[in-house]
Structure 1
Amino acid sequence: MNLTIMRLALQALVGQRRGLVILTLPVLLVALAGVLRALTGEPVSANAVVVEVGIALVVPLVALLAANGVLGPEIDDGSVVYLLSTPVSRYAVAASKFVVAAGVAAVAAVTGLLGATLAGGLSGRWVVVSVVVGAGGAVLYTALFSAIAAATRHGMIAGLVYVTVVESLLGRFLGGFRYVSVRAFAERLGEVAADVDLPVADLSTTYAVIASLVLLGVGVGGAGWRLARFQLRGDE
């Protein structure tokens, strides 16, 4: 990894409007939990607020914004060519940007889920779920979206399709889809860590761990491979 690239990536991410959007999503989640609890006078539904809104929407969306924020704009305007002209490994470039995006996404996701858990009056087990699923899911989604952002100019659109169509719809109607679902991997890890019931059916812990590691390697490695081809082809 390269510290200079990481610093520039962080400045580009948090210093733009995209950074405000990343911050807004967790804040809205916490506000939703707080308002619902205030209106009902009872703890909110963990499944409705934390799982269906927080884990299913906020976590992947902040990861999508972060991943595209550190790489997408450079692909769009062609300035990535200047970055790739430096004597730095393309894989180091991809890894450096991934670490920054994953770190920002993880902090935002955990903050949102943890804040919603506390504001909603949920038990301590959901605090563990917030940390494990928030951090783990954000990192895994960022790996996937980093590879997509490096592969196409339409990384944001492709990511939105994955979140709203592939995971939300196919994951709901096709039980076997859990074996290739980022959300299912993260939820299984959270289920084991906190001893709560999350919608991952019989997905084994071993499979979730192995699949997560493979996704990380393929995501970051795929982004680096694409950046190497990007320079050689000069097609952008």
Structure 2
Amino acid sequence: MNPTIARLAFRALVGGWRGIVLIALPVLLVLLAGLLRGLTGEPVEPDLVMVEVGLALVVPLVALLAANGVLGPEIDDGSVVYLLSTPVSRYAVAASKYLVAGGIAALVSVVGLLAASLAGGLDGEWLLVSLVTGGVGALLYTALFTAFSAATRHGMIAGLLYITVLEGLLGRLLTGLRYVSVRSVAERLGEAASGVDLGGQDLSLTYALIASAVLLIVGVGAAGWRLQRFQLRGDE
């Protein structure tokens, strides 16, 4: 990890509209949970608020914004060539940017899910679910979306297609896609830690752990490989 690159990535991510949107997404989740509890006078339905909104939308969107925020703009405007002209390993660049994006995404996701659990009146098991699935899910999504961002100018669109089409639409129709679903892996690990049924029991715990490690390594490694082949004259 390069401290200078990490510091610049942090400033680019938390400054401006990206920082505001990153915070706004979990805040909206907390408000939704609090509103539903206030209207019904009972704890919220966790499958609806925490799973279908929190895990399925808020966590991946936060990770997508974070991953694209630390690398995407530099590729879009061509300023990445100045970064890559320095004597710093491309893999170190990718790893530094991933650690910043993943760390911020995990922090925002976990805090948002924990706050939503409390606002919704859920029990302690859901606090543990929020901690594990929010943190693990954000880190895995960020690794995947960092690779997308390095591979194409349209990393944001590719990430949205993955979330909405592959995990959202096709994931409901084709059960086999759970093996390439970050959400399914995160839910399985959350189940193992808390005992709460999140619908991920079809995956073995061993597979979930191995898939997590592979995605982290391949995602960041692929981003570094792509940067290593980025032409300084600007091939994008």
Give your verdict on TM over 0.5. Answer: yes
What is the SS of the residue equivalent to 2:213? helix
Q: Distance in 2 between matches of 1:35 and 1:230?
A: 48
Equivalent residues of 1:103, 1:139 under 8 A apart: yes
Q: CA offset at residue 142 of structure 1? A: 0.1
Cα drift, residue 231 of structure 1: 3.2
RMSD of the TM alignment (CA)? 0.9
| Deviation at residue 179 of structure 1 after TM alignment | 0.7
**Residue equivalent to 1:138:** 138
**Letter paired with 2:134:** G
| Gap runs ≥5 in structure 2 | none
Deviating 4+ runs (over 4 angstroms):
none
Tell me, in whole angstroms, the C-alpha distance in 2 between the residues paired with 1:19 and 1:160. Answer: 19
Residue identity in the other structure for 1:21: V
Task: Provide the secondary structure at the position in 2 that maps to 1:230.
Answer: coil
Aligned twin of 1:23: 23
TM norm structure 1? 0.98
Q: Deviations over 1:43-86 (max 9, x none)?
A: 00000000000000000000000000000000000000000000
Q: How does 1:52-67 map to 2 (within 5 A)?
A: 52-67=52-67
Cα distance in 2 for residues equivalent to 1:43 and 1:32: 12
Could you tell me which residue of structure 1 aligns to residue 112 of structure 2? 112
What are the Cα deviations for residues 14-64 of structure 1, in whole angstroms up to 9, with x where unaligned? 012111001000000000000000000000000000000000000000000
Q: State the match for 1:210 in structure 2.
A: 210
Contact kept? 2:85, 2:232, Cα under 8 Å? no
- CA drift at 1:200: 1.4
Give 1:209 shift: 0.3
Name the residue aligned to 1:76.
76
C-alpha separation in 2, matches of 1:168 and 1:233: 39
Checking the alignment, whether the CA contact within 8 Å between 1:66 and 1:104 is kept in structure 2 is yes
- Structure 2 Cα separation of the partners of residues 23 and 230 of structure 1: 32
Distance 1:111 1:215 in 2: 24
| Per-residue deviation, 1:113 | 0.7
Segments of 5+ residues of structure 1 without an aligned counterpart are none
Counterpart position of 2:197: 197
Q: 1:201: Cα distance to partner?
A: 3.6
Amino acid at match of 2:5: I
Per the normalisation by structure 2, the TM-score is: 0.98
